[in-house]
Amino acid sequence: MGRLGPAFLTFDNFLAYVGWNESLNYSLTAAHYATRLEGAPPMSKGAGPNIPRLTIDENRELQQILTRMGHDVGRIDGVLGLKSRTAVRAVQIKLAMPADSWPTPELLARMRTGR
């Protein structure tokens, strides 16, 4: 959820989760559940429903634009995996936006116009 969502501190052993399943959502959920079993408090939801999001069709369009820009996003399916998020971060850096790998409507609009 980018800079407005919850933050997680991970260590090298987190790579075991990501190595088994590349979905960051799955890996973070599994890791957080493990900490909850050990007695950790519930996570803060950050800004919650106010976090700007793209629809699956917009994610697909984003992946298509990223591919045209020369980024490897994997399969263009509207589901943003590690390759798509890495490409999003690279574009955010190029556009001097907060580089949090979370695609926003603002990012997509800027990518559409090339600015």
Residue 74 included in any domain = yes
User: Taken in order 22, 78, 52, 86, is the CA torsion positive or negative?
Assistant: positive
> Smallest Cα–Cα separation from 59: which of 74, 47, 48?
74
The pLDDT value recorded for residue 18 is 83
H/E/C letters for each residue in 1-60? CHHHCCCCCCCCCHHHHHHHCCCHHHHHHHHHHHHHHCCCCCCCCCCHHHCCCCCHHHHH
Quote the CA–CA distance of 97 and 3 in Å, as a whole number. Answer: 11
Q: Are residues 73 and 103 in the same domain?
A: yes
Where residue 1 falls among pLDDT bands split at 50, 70, 90? low
Higher pLDDT, 2 or 14: 14
Residue 1 included in any domain = no
- DSSP summary character for residue 2: G
Q: Are residues 15 and 67 in the same domain?
A: no
Least confident interval from 46-55, 70-79, 90-99: 46-55
Model pTM above 0.75: no
Q: Are residues 39 and 56 in the same domain?
A: no
Domain extent at residue 20: 11-43
Q: What is the pLDDT of residues 42-72, one digit of tens each?
A: 877 666 667 788 999 999 999 999 999 999 9
